[in-house]
Amino acid sequence: MNTSVDQLPLLLFSSREDKTNAQRISRLARSGRLRQIYRGIYTSDLTSPLEQIIRPNWRQITEYLYPGSVVAYRSAHLCKPDDSGNIFLVSGNRARQIAFPGLTLNILPGPAAVQSHKDSLNDTPYGKLFISSEARRLLENLYSRKGSDLRTMGRPWVESYLSKLCTIRGEHKLNALRDDAKAIAPQLGLEVQFKTLNTIVSALMQTGKARSLRAADALARTAGKPYDPDRIEIFETLFSALRKPFPIIEDQAKTGKSTFNFAFFESYFSNYIEGTTFTVEEASEIIFDGKMIPKRNEDSHDVLGTFKAIMEQPFRSKPPKDEDDFLAWLLQCNLQILSSRPDKNPGEWKEQSNQAGNTIFVHPELVKGTLREGFKRIALLEDPFARALMAMFVVTEVHPFMDGNGRTARLTMNAYLTQHSASRIIIPTAYREDYLLPLKALSQNNDPSPFIRSMTRAWRWTAGFDYSNFPNLWEKMKACNAFTDNPSQHQLLDPHDIS
């Protein structure tokens, strides 16, 4: 609880230059309305743990103690204390350390050129501090002498950073950054680090030796298979969470009319969730009678194309066997779904970046390499449900196509389930947010638990119907509120609870 009184700020600073303020702070401290954190630094919060006060306000404290210093090394990248509470600053000509609860200021000496803040260093003003420029930051994080493990992000981080930068900004950006680093290295006393940086850039641009690299994604780039390392981190999290057995829910629609009826609703809902909306009656005419709905020819083909992919091989139950097959399989699947939309480049990798909300998907240059890395984790999972979820998320997170990514991802998931005679999964309209929000939580927060829970529930829901009779199936799905666009008013019900 914050017990600040009379609107006193959380932190107060005393200085010799302002004697009136210093005397006021001294009076407040003597009267018990302030507590001292450090010489000249006080807080009006009399009860909260000091760590909760100090760590979030590290910048104000640093500005007071070391104005004009440079936030450098790993701190320049993080722009906050690391997990151990360290901030690294370049200031003055003497190394020292000040420890607070939750924060340690590590002061590192710098050359005279650094202390005078020459414009040529291009450091970024940050209040009364500076942040190392991009070129300087890379040089500092290549420091490899005593204490480097603590103060730097390390060479693999630099390689990965440059590889990603090359993807986003191109080789000309790497060249420009190398030129900037070359210009400032002598002023910083980092000539040795520049030689290392030059070696890394040359390797990434394939004008130097690739074997000098250490980061996996940088090596993949030089091998012509670049991938998105941030996505691989998320894949690893999901992979770890899925490495366990799940109860098998058997397929309720293996043969005959049941298979046909299941495929109808799988196609119907998979398209509806992506905005291709028809009534069930209209979709029935498209799939059962081959009718194209007037003025909606392309939408009609999407529903029919998805239905055919669900029913036909290899998309029904023969999922890809290796990385190359995975890429080819996805291309063919997307082509099947969107064959009537040449403007969407069906069956071709995207050429421009795409996004949903504030989620930006994998850069086009990294699509194939990221899919390959994703497939390695799919193949290592033994449980059919785990493998299916991994496959669906990999395709969803990469978003490799201009359109049809969600439908392609769900078809990939269901192919792995049908391969093992397990129930496929339908995502009804009423479950749309329960499906999309966990995907977002995994993508943005690296939290797989909501995704696994959501898909487990959808799996059980799907398996709760008798698919042999179309009218009865349709009526029961309506009774479960499966078709509602407003789940806040009509919650999706469990078919097991509907008589």
DSSP 355: E
Answer yes or no: is 406 a known binding residue.
yes
Q: 60: which 2 tokens?
A: 């104000």
Q: 493: which 2 tokens?
A: 């019900």
Do residues 315 and 309 touch, judged by C-beta distance below 8 A? yes
Answer yes or no: is 405 a known binding residue.
yes
Answer yes or no: is 3 a known binding residue.
no
Answer yes or no: is 409 a known binding residue.
yes
Given 3-state DSSP classes, what are the helix, strand and coil percentages for the chain, each rounded to the nearest 5? 55, 10, 35
What is the crossing angle of helices 191-204 and 171-188, to 10°?
170
Do residues 465 and 475 touch, judged by C-beta distance below 8 A? no
Ramachandran bin of 35, using left for φ above 0, alpha for ψ from -120 to 50, beta for the remaining angles: beta
Q: Is 67 exposed, middle or buried (0-12, 13-18, 19+ CB in 10 A)?
A: exposed
DSSP 292: P
Answer yes or no: is 408 a known binding residue.
yes
Q: What angle (nearest 5°) sits at the alpha carbon of residue 300, between those of residues 296 and 302?
A: 120
Q: 379: which 2 tokens?
A: 């193949």
Report the candidate in 402, 442, 370, 108 with the shortest Cα–Cα distance to residue 221. Answer: 370
Residue type, 185: A
Q: Which of these is catalytic: 399, 420, 490, 496? A: 399
Count CB atoms within 10 A of the CB of residue 381.
20
- Spatial strand order of the sheet with 11-13 comes to 11-13, 41-43, 35-38
d(CA 434, CA 436): 6
Q: Determine whether 399 is an active site residue.
A: yes
d(CA 100, CA 334): 57
Answer yes or no: is 403 a known binding residue.
yes
Which sequence positions are flagged as catalytic? Answer: 399
Residues annotated in a binding site for ATP: 403-410
Binding region? 403-410
